[in-house]
Structure 1
Amino acid sequence: MSDPLQVELVAADRVVWSGEATMIIARTAEGDLGALPGHAPVLSILLPSVVEITTTDGEQVRAAVEDGFLSIANDRVSILSEDAFLADEIDVDAARAEVEKLQGEDDSLALQRAEAKVRAAEKTS
């Protein structure tokens, strides 16, 4: 078995999650990207979405992320986001209320961010 991925999910103000993983899935400007150990080097723009990390012990870590960057090189994955929330940090009712409020406004990026929070929290419950 190959060495695991060394993953760091970092927001502007904190390290949200750091550890070893067997797989990550993230949404980039080029589309959804899945990475396993041995993945070719990548540098891409991260879109507001849900990042999924499968840890080496099989745990699923989900986080809602905002705009940022994804870098993969030498089995090291850096997910850098303006802001990021682990699923268990999200108040799903507040996130749903935010989605409803934003649906009547003309801010599609804010709506994408709010919807990502709802998806991350719902997948965990």
Structure 2
Amino acid sequence: MIYDDVARVLPEMRAHAESLMRDTVRVMREGEPVTDDDGFVTTSSTLVYEGAAKWQRPSGWQRSQVGESDTAAGGIELHLPFDASAGVRVGDVVECMASLDSALVGRRFGVVDEFAKTLATSRRLRVEVVGR
């Protein structure tokens, strides 16, 4: 069966996909507000993933007008190693720590959608810019 053939080589295909992930990201999940002894409120955060990544524009990317806003439909896809990034979820914040594209370094993105796929070679997440 074709499925059996693909399932047998899937670990190798995932290793090939990961070899293309030349950038490094840190994914954090914000927690509950915390008040320190001086009364300052901060948000705690937990490291969800740190490691290899690849940025990609999905095909079919378009710009559209919503009210007075110019919006990019499609956004940016973040590709992460499949097994190592299983805990990344919508709402997490991604910071680009190192990249072959220096314009990405230091940029922050919010995870806005997760893509599930049978026999995936990488974990693909749609992200949108949230700051620098």
Q: Which has the higher strand share?
A: 2
TM-score computed with the length of structure 1 as normaliser: 0.34
TM-score computed with the length of structure 2 as normaliser: 0.33
Point out the structure with max Rg over C-alpha.
Answer: 2
